[in-house]
Structure 1
């Protein structure tokens, strides 16, 4: 079977460092942090009250009441990101009536909607009071079921649940479906709710950063003084399309997906190793048919945890050595969890479009592993055309994507 080229024709982002591509690009260039202290979490008993703050979108101008009652927080973010991505891709609503479009979106939990419904049942002892929209808010597939209905999508329709690699795997799976000729266009991405209910059990693990007096300095991937991640969220959407489809409709082509690699660690449920990430990166290189030396930038998964960052640094060094510039945008955004794999591809494309590499802020003192890498600690004005983005998650799931600047 002939393998088709897969391109990106649209992007949209709704995050703690901006709610549009323009805002996010500026934040990336300036090294602006989106991390804040949340008094509500501290009052609720959180060990760490730090979070990436994302504004609540107003959907009334865009969706009717019936549509809004089945939409939860993560879908609100995903919808806003998808609106921008479709506009970016020059796709109007009438397009969906004439063409088959699919959706693959990363989401691996829904907390607030489930808790609210359960609390209501416990208080009122009457399921009828829960409301007709609650079930559609509380299912793991809430994002894809709502967006596919709003946009009348008739292609593939699935949620990718793979912990913090969900958003990345959604792009990878979309790439494979289009590459093999099974779909022409797929809306891909990832979303994550930021409310405290979504993060309470995470906080209970004791893996969150403790530097509450300096929120902007708390997320410090690869730095020797890192002591945990900062939770965050939002929505990120990319429009994947076959090259033939994009050319036929005269779409703007932003980038090309070149390779996708995946693996499972097959070990501890929460502690990552070196071998799994290295396998995913090597597979991405093989799929893209490029040498490791060709990669000009690596957006690392690095979440600011002691063990995770160290193992990723070891894996990167094993395959790439110390040459390519490396940074973790989580230093600014915190860990956007199910969204991160998609948002970090967007962040990297924005850098590639605008000839700079965003800094790994708060990188002040390297440890024995990170000192072997070329960590970018302040904004680097540099042209590049080929990058790799890593995403890893609980359960040992790993994803690596390689994208390039589009050239005919």
Structure 2
């Protein structure tokens, strides 16, 4: 018998804030976290735009001998997970006596790998890489570090699926719980925010060059969009079976109703309509949900010309005459990549709990495709009890989640 999967805790480290309250207020106010980086421009970037991510101080929490194993994204993930566990009322004693798992999204460790290999080339000695290099440079660095630091003894797995990584981590965690293989799983996504991690993206002209107006550069669905803006940070949600959450008296925030997924089976970087549409359709079907039940869609829309258009077409195809409110929080955060599928669940949760939909800022003129859907340009007071979140990635990997409010 399938079990109900619930969210009992959330934590985030974002350009919109590092507490849930701060992020909620930024969403409501339509505040952008995008800035101009002189460092990137001086280094040779075509676009020097990026999200402004505060650097965490782990010294009060993690001993130096353990910090040496943690690259930038693992540090973000530690802070987000620390907050999520506290939010879920999961303390060290409970974790020590129960099987808690972790599935986290991450798909690069560019800076740590580069630094280690630079030292090797400079000194012509592999020992120069440093004792922490191997643990910092693996894609699984987030899950290996967090599992050790928080003493997690359940599943320990990294979801590496481009910009759908964070969403797939939640879908996989929910699947394990639904089928009785785990009672509680820490899920999320992390993205390194250093310039080295996105230099190749800049090289293929993926980024907006609206450098004189950083806050107006990320403009999903807008006719005049000219590319995405890179972001980063980490987001963590705690998933549990409903029975487990009730038994331990946990705060039950929402239910993960359904997960849909697909592969485009097509071009490695150019999305199509059929793949995303199939992910949406399967998510609705798996949850027994009709389009009329959805009160809000948090779109993947990154502010690229083709990606936004194909997603708008897919939403219009699946939802038809049901004009559900649609926004992309990437208009405020930029594209948080491996983190995005998890952070956008938290952004949507904060809206749902607070009775508003954050506006798709910088949406001034629709194009032919975005005109087919109901994009909200400004924050709107709105009550909704169920939302859908899309995450699509390079290689044509697609993930869709539906989450329902629980009072």
| Residues in 2 aligned to 1:391 and 1:201: alpha-carbon distance in whole angstroms | 21
Give me the TM-score of the superposition, normalised by structure 1.
0.99
TM-score normalised per structure 2:
0.99
Residue 179 (structure 1) aligned with residue 211 (structure 2): no
What residue number does 2:145 align with?
146
1:97 equivalent in structure 2 = 96
Equivalent residue number for residue 135 of structure 1: 134
Q: What's 2:307 paired with? A: 308
In the other structure, the counterpart of 1:288 is 287
5 Å-filtered alignment, 1:150-169, equals 150-169=149-168
Q: What RMSD, in angstroms, separates the aligned Cα atoms of the two structures?
A: 0.7
Distance 1:254 1:375 in 2: 26
Residue 216 (structure 1) aligns with: 215
Secondary structure of the structure 1 residue equivalent to 2:269: coil
SS state at 1:211 partner = coil
Aligned to 2:80: 81
Alignment of structure 1 residues 2-401 onto 2, 5 Å = 2-321=1-320, 323-401=323-401
Any unmatched runs of 5+ in structure 2?
none
For 1:292 and 1:274, locate their aligned partners in 2 and report how far apart those are by CA, in whole Å. 18
Q: 1:288: how far off?
A: 1.0
C-alpha separation in 2, matches of 1:147 and 1:396: 29
Which runs of 5 or more structure 1 residues have no equivalent in the other structure?
none
> SS at the partner of 1:403?
strand
CA displacement 1:183-221 (0-9 Å, x = unmatched): 000000000001000010111111100100000000000
Q: Secondary structure at the match of 1:83?
A: helix
Structure 1 residue 271: Cα displacement: 0.4
Distance across 1 between alignment mates of 2:200 and 2:280? 30
Q: Secondary structure at the match of 1:94?
A: helix
Tell me by how many angstroms 1:344 deviates: 0.2
CA displacement, residues 168-188 of structure 1 (integer Å, 9 cap, x when unaligned): 000000010000000000000
CA distance in 2, matches of 1:83, 1:145: 15
Shift of 1:108: 0.5
Cα deviations by residue, 1:72-129 (Å, 9 ceiling, x for unpaired):
0000000000011001000111112100000000000110000000111111122222
Q: CA deviation at 1:367?
A: 0.5
2: CA distance between counterparts of 1:23 and 1:330?
17
- Counterpart-to-counterpart distance in 2, 1:65 and 1:171: 31
Residues in 2 aligned to 1:206 and 1:155: alpha-carbon distance in whole angstroms: 41
